[in-house]
Structure formats: structure tokens, C-alpha cells
Amino acid sequence: MSSVVLVLITGLGVGALYFLVASGLSLIYGLMNVLNFAHGAFIALGALIGWEVAEHTDAASWWSFLLSLVVGAVVGAAFAAFTELVLIRPLYQRHIEQVLVTVGLSFAAIALFDGIWGQDLHSVKGPAWLDEVTVVAGAHIANIFWVLIVAAVLVLGGLSLFLRKTRYGKIIRAGVENRAMVTALGIDVRRAFTLVFSIGGAAAGLGGVLAMHYMTGVTPEIGSSLLIFAFIVIIIGGTESLVGTAVASVIVAVLQQFANTYLWGTGDFIAIVLLPIVLLLRPSGLFGKRA
Amino acid sequence: MSAATPILEVEHLSASIAGQQVVEDVSFTVPRSGVTALLGRNGVGKTSTLRGILGLIQRRGIVKFAGERIDTMQTYRIVQKGIGYVPEEREVFSKLSVAENLELAERQKNPHREFVARLFPDLVQRRDQQAGTLSGGQQQMVSVARALLNDNQLLLVDEPTKGLAPKIVNEVADALAAASKTVPILLVEQNLEVVRRLADRVVVIVGGRVAHVGDAAATLDDADLVRRLLGVHVGDSAHGGIAPARNAGEGAEGGQHA
Ligand SMILES: Nc1ncnc2c1ncn2[C@@H]1O[C@H](COP(=O)(O)OP(=O)(O)O)[C@@H](O)[C@H]1O
Ligand SMILES: [Mg+2]
């Protein structure tokens, strides 16, 4: 019993991290048809700058922790907006080139981060409470998992409200469905592109800082593995709704935790074989949207 | 700008989709008032002409709106100059509510919400309904309403009555008739009874070029001309009016090139 609870709650927590990364990927793909391989670099920069914040402040304090989250999100958003404006926008409508550019940026950025921060693990020690455990139905849950879950729920709620209630949110929802018709209403949809990149970058930067605390350290590679799982999440969840992305995040992570616990630590393997299985079962294509 | 300048001037417009040329060489003008019907058989390039004017597909040639070149502008800027577009497939945002669909279309401070509500009272009642769950006729009303909310200088309306029940056809035609009192319309329409009711003049495309321009009533009265240009038989429909031959295979392809 307690080990099942442990698997479920840690699965939820890891799923929360996947969601933070996948939500932006999904919005970007849905609106712009760009599979953004640079998302891993957004995560890494958010995490590394978050680490700098921790280094230069009292990392064990809550305000330092919160500050690192905010700074990570802002840095991720700025990096993403820059990417969209400088690299993606000039290649308007050329999706293959856009994807290639994000691949190139990802390699270049991570190489640059390696140069600045080195490849060694930079440890971090946040508020002591994060390392303590809360006992739920006999399962000992590290408190960082609660933080991950709360952060993802807040981001999901905030994004949903934004998409429902604001004009730009409506433009994004309409654009995901039919971008050409949005422009035919006299709306400059490219502003929504920059916005969606920024939002995705903010969530990725936030996810990066949280992932750093979860792993109690950071290297420039921190985004790469998260990105793979985020891709699996959006292949399974589709790009139609954020709730779909959230559900798929939890499914992938819970399966992964389950396999790690009960199937000889094969979690990553299981998550990754989900990919061809889902693709084979959904021959309509990678992100098979309704026509 | 003199009142005599046409609101829209199209000169040697060609357009392509994915490298495939779909409009060859089309030239015509739309005056500052009334309804101009753009006619032609299925697949002749009417929709593509409208989409080319709006920059929704690749185009070449000269397009002037109120005397100003718009043929290298981006779609949203062209529309902001004062064009309303009702696309052939309605293209309402199916996941958005009726109210959200209309809201997104509003480009000015005081959109004509009352005018639209009077034309389409149905939409007021269904304002919170997801547009994708509306009937075809209701979706067409949303699509027409989107174009009527702003002070446009021109409407491009593509087959607004296609696939609609007769009662709804009349309702949509009424709305367009009301709108045409204040804004010129370029109308693509297969239902020749609707054309006869709404249009002042017609422009007919045959084989990728404009083959005929003329007064609407005079053109439609010339059964022989109509049959030659549109492959449509006059006088054989149930109510004795003019029925379009919807079947593109019908009507020989011989000798329409002007
Ligand atoms: N998305 C598309 N891809 C390729 N060809 C198209 C596409 N849409 C239309 N066409 C072709 O362009 C031509 C003109 O089509 P269209 O402008 O829709 O004609 P109309 O509106 O007069 O029926 C047709 O031959 C049609 O097959
Ligand atoms: Mg058409």
C-alpha cells in the first residue's frame, strides 16, 4: 500500500515537471507547427541562472528559493522571446528550417553554457524543509514533490485562465485551430507567436529551477532528458488542450515511477518505448490533429 | 480620391497554392457601391481569387484597394484597411463560443453589435454555445456576422448560401442585402436566384480569365450566355427559376475562352 502511494505521489511530482516543460512545447507546436528543440536550452538557462541566484543569496531561505523561481522564469521567457524574434520569425512559414534552427540553437546554447559553467554538477541546497519528508498512508514523501505539484497546478490554472479570459488567450486558442482565419480577421498573429514562446520559456525556466532542486544540482545537460520526456508527453497528450498535456504528463511519469519500483528500474525504458507504441497506434501522424 | 475610383482594382492577378497555379490572369474592378457577383464554374478559381486578394495564398499582379497597392501587404494589414471576409467554408473557430468568435472579429471601438443582433437574433441566444456545435446555417451566420461588426469598405463573401436550407438561404441573403446598402460586396455565389436578387453586376471567370463583365439582370436573362459561361441550364428547376448545375462534370468544355 505505502509503496503504491509513494509511486503515485512521486509520479505526480515528476509529471508536474514534465508538464511545466511540455505545456510550452505543446502551445508552440499547436499554434506555430514548430517542434521546439531549443526548449531544453530554456530549461538549462533557467536552472543555471537559478543556481547563480542560490549561490549569491541565502539559498536555505524561502525568499531565495522564490527569487530563484521568479528569476528562472523571467530568464527563460526572455531567452525564448529572443529566440522567436531573432531566429524563428525570419523563417516565417518555413517549418522545417524553423525546427532545424531550434536544433542548432540547442547545441550552440548548451555548448556555451558548458563553456561558462562547466560540465560538473553544481550542487544546490535549498530550504531544509524540501529535503524532509511528509508521511502519507505510510509512504515517506520528500517535500520537494509537493512543491513540484503545487507549481504545476498553479501554472495549469494560470495558463487556463489566461487562455479563456484574455484577448491574447482567445487569439492563441483560435490560432491553434485556424491561424489563417485569425489573420483574415485583421489580427497580427505573429505577436501571439512571441507571446506563446515567452510563456513556454517561462514555464521551462521555472521547470528548470525546480528540476535543479529536485536533483539537488544542475549541469547544462539538465534540459535534455526532460525534453525527451516532454516530447513523449505531447505525442501522447496531443496539442489540443493543456489538460490533455497535464494528464499525459502524469501518465508518463507514474508509469515511469511504477516501472522503476516494480520492474527492476526500467522506468526510462518504459517511457521511451511508449513513443513508438503510441505512434503505431496513432498512424494519423505525430501530432495527429483532427483535419 | 474621386468617388468614381473603384474600391477594388485587380489587374493581372495570378495565384498559386503549393506551387500550383490556381488563378491564371484575372483582371476586374469592384465599384464603391452595390454587389458585384464573381461567377464561374466549380474549380475555376473564384475562391482562390478572393484568397489571393487577401494575401492568404501566394499571388502576383496588381491589387489596389481604395487606390492603394495591397498586393505585397500581409493579410492582417489588408483586412485592417477595411475588408470583411466571409470564407467559403465559414471557418468559425469551433472550440470558441459564439461570443468569442464575434469578439475576435471586432476591430473598432464601437462595433455594430446591435445591427448584427437584429439580423441574427439566434446568435444572441446562443452566445455561450461552442461554435463547433452550431448547425451549418448558424455557423454561416457567425461567419457573416464577423464581417458585419466593423465599418468595412468592402466585403468579400464566398458562397454564403452553400449547403443551407432554403429558409436560411433567405435569411443570409437578407443580411447581405441589408449590408449592401452601406458597403460594396464582392460576392461569389452559385445560387443564381440569390445572385439575381442581390447583384448589380457580374464578373464571370472562364478558363482562368475574366470572360464576361456585365449588368447582373441582363446577363442572367440571357439564357444562352449563362449556359455557355456557367454550364447552367435555365428554366428547368422545380420552381421554374434558374438552377445551377452543381455537377462540375456537366456541361461541355467547348469554346468558352473569351
Ligand atoms: N488547397 C489546394 N491545394 C491544391 N489545389 C487547390 C487547393 N484548393 C483549390 N485548389 C485548386 O485550385 C483551383 C481553383 O479552386 P477554387 O479557387 O477553390 O475554385 P472555385 O472557388 O472557383 O470553385 C481548382 O482547380 C482546385 O482544384
Ligand atoms: Mg470556391
CA B212 to chain centre: 18
Is B248 domain-assigned? no
Tell me, letter by letter, the H, E, C secondary structure of A9-26: HHHHHHHHHHHHHHHHHH
Is A183 domain-assigned? yes
CA B69 to chain centre: 21
Does pLDDT of A9 surpass 60?
A: yes
Percent of chain B whose pLDDT exceeds 70 = 89
Percent of chain A whose pLDDT exceeds 70 = 96
| Chain B contact set for A182 (CB, 8 A) | 104
Residue that has been written with the C-alpha cell 438552377 in this structure: B243
User: Which pLDDT belongs to residue A138?
Assistant: 84
pTM for the whole structure: 0.87
Is A21 domain-assigned? yes
Residues with CB under 6 A from ligand 1: B 17-18, 20, 22, 40, 42-48
Interface contact B104, partner A, CB < 8 A: yes
Domain that holds residue B112: 8-237
Is B255 domain-assigned? no
User: Which pLDDT belongs to residue B250?
Assistant: 37
Cell of A136: 502519507
Number of domains in chain A: 1
Radius of gyration over every alpha carbon of chain A, rounded to an integer in angstroms: 19
Is B58 domain-assigned? yes
Does pLDDT of B243 surpass 50?
A: no
The rounded distance, in Å, linking the Cα atoms of A148 and A165 is 26
Phi, psi angles (nearest 5°) of residue B13: -75, 130
Average of per-residue pLDDT across A254-269: 82
Q: What is chain B's mean pLDDT, rounded?
A: 89
What confidence tier does B68 reach under pLDDT thresholds 50, 70, 90?
Answer: very high
List, for residues B232-242, the tens digit of each pLDDT value. 766 544 343 44
Average of per-residue pLDDT across B106-118: 95
Is B242 domain-assigned? no
CB contact under 8 A, A189 and B105: no
DSSP-assigned beta bridge partners for residue B187: B37, B157
Give the ipTM: 0.87
Is B253 domain-assigned? no
What residues flank ion ligand 2 with Cβ within 5 A?
Answer: B 47, 88
Report the nearest-CA residue for atom 1 of ligand 1: B17
List, for residues B9-24, the tens digit of each pLDDT value. 999 999 999 999 999 9
Average of per-residue pLDDT across A244-266: 85
The rounded Å distance from CA B45 to ligand 1 centre is 6
Does pLDDT of A213 surpass 60?
A: yes
| Chain A contact set for B101 (CB, 8 A) | 174
Interface contact B100, partner A, CB < 8 A: yes
Ligand number with the minimum distance to the CA of B17: 1
Is B75 domain-assigned? yes
Residues of chain A whose beta carbon is less than 8 angstroms from a beta carbon of chain B are 167, 170-171, 173-174, 177-178, 180-189
What confidence tier does B1 reach under pLDDT thresholds 50, 70, 90?
Answer: low
CA A108 to chain centre: 20
Average of per-residue pLDDT across A139-143: 87
Is B249 domain-assigned? no
Average of per-residue pLDDT across A26-40: 90
Is A278 domain-assigned? no
Is B257 domain-assigned? no
Domain that holds residue A221: 2-230
What confidence tier does B247 reach under pLDDT thresholds 50, 70, 90?
Answer: very low
Interface contact B75, partner A, CB < 8 A: yes
Interface contact B186, partner A, CB < 8 A: no
The rounded distance, in Å, linking the Cα atoms of A128 and A142 is 11
Q: Which residues contact A275 (CB under 8 A, 6 or more apart)?
A: A231, A232, A235
CATH of the domain at B190: 3.40.50.300
Tell me, letter by letter, the H, E, C secondary structure of chain B: CCCCCCCEEEEEEEEEECCEEEEEEEEEEECCCCEEEEECCCCCCHHHHHHHHCCCCEEEEEEEECCEECCCCCHHHHHHCCEEEECCCCCCCCCCEHHHHHHHHCCCCCCCHHHHHHHCHHHHHCCCCEHHHCCHHHHHHHHHHHHHCCCCCEEEEECCCCCCCHHHHHHHHHHHHHHHCCCCEEEECCCHHHHHHHCCEEEEEECCEEEEEEEHHHHHHCHHHHHHHHCCEECCCCCCCEECCCCCCCCCCCCCCC
- A97 three-class SS: helix
Is A142 domain-assigned? yes
Closest A-chain CA to B92: A181
CB contact under 8 A, A180 and B75: yes
List, for residues B134-178, the tens digit of each pLDDT value. 999 999 999 999 999 999 999 999 999 999 999 999 999 999 999
Is A244 domain-assigned? no
Interface contact B91, partner A, CB < 8 A: yes
Ligand number with the minimum distance to the CA of B162: 2
List, for residues A150-174, the tens digit of each pLDDT value. 999 999 999 999 999 999 999 999 9
Number of domains in chain B: 1
The more confident residue out of B2 and B109 is B109
